[in-house]
């Protein structure tokens, strides 16, 4: 099975339908923490919802589209990264992430996103990777910056949540910029 080390005690692996119970348990720990920052369609409330989310991503991956990868810390699923959109023909993708509170501050998302970007640019030949986040999500913006992305703009009041409309930032990096960034940071 594919498994990529992120740190001594952390691994990145595909998150698949057969792991629905583990994903549901993780969502019980993460749900309220991530709810303001991720799309409503990703939040699951029970095992059936977890299974449906994993099945939806599996179907999209089978069509060479979106992909979902989990992050395990000390053997426990604590979050993940994904290709929210993946379009090989257009040469572009959008990456995203989520993490439960206990796993924050370890650099896991940044390392996992580096693996996704390396694969998208080197193995699949994509040209552009995008990152969207609420403008008030400082942690998410910080990841985009660490990945060498450029803030391209802000979509005003585009994210409805909790009765308020929030601004959304769009960050991106191009393949040549990724190569230069990787060379400059040594990561």
Please state the φ and ψ torsions of residue 16, each to the nearest 5 degrees. Answer: -120, 165
Percent of the chain whose predicted confidence (pLDDT) is above 90: 88
Instruction: Please state whether beta strands 128-134 and 150-161 pair in parallel, antiparallel, or not at all (unpaired).
Output: unpaired
Measured between alpha carbons, how far is 83 from 67 in angstroms, rounded to an integer?
Answer: 5
Tell me: pLDDT of 9 over 70. yes
Of residues 46 and 41, more confidently modeled = 46
> What's the chain's average pLDDT?
94
Measured between alpha carbons, how far is 146 from 26 in angstroms, rounded to an integer?
Answer: 26
Domains and CATH numbers, the chain: 4-185 (3.40.630.30)
The pLDDT value given to residue 187: 62
Measured between alpha carbons, how far is 165 from 66 in angstroms, rounded to an integer?
Answer: 26
Place of tokens 């990703």: 42
The answer to whether the CB of 130 falls within 8 A of the CB of 94 is: yes
pLDDT (mean) for 134-144: 96
């Amino acid at each position: 099975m594919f498994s990529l080390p992120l740190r001594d005690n952390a691994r990145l692996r595909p998150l698949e339908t057969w792991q629905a119970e583990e994903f549901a348990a993780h969502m019980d720990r993460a749900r309220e923490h991530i709810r303001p920052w991720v799309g409503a369609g990703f939040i699951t409330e029970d095992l059936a919802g977890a299974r449906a989310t994993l099945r939806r991503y599996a179907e999209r991956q089978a069509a060479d589209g979106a992909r979902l990868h989990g992050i395990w810390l000390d053997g426990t699923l604590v979050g993940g990264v994904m290709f929210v959109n993946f379009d090989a023909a257009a040469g572009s993708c959008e990456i995203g992430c989520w993490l439960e509170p206990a796993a924050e501050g370890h650099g896991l998302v940044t390392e996992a996103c580096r693996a996704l970007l390396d694969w998208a640019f080197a193995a699949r030949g994509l040209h552009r990777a995008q990152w969207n986040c609420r403008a008030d999500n400082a942690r998410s913006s910080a990841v985009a910056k660490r990945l060498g992305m450029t803030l391209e703009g802000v979509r005003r009041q585009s994210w409805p949540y909790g009765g308020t409309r929030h601004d959304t930032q769009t960050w991106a990096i191009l393949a040549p910029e990724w190569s230069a960034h990787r060379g400059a940071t040594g990561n």
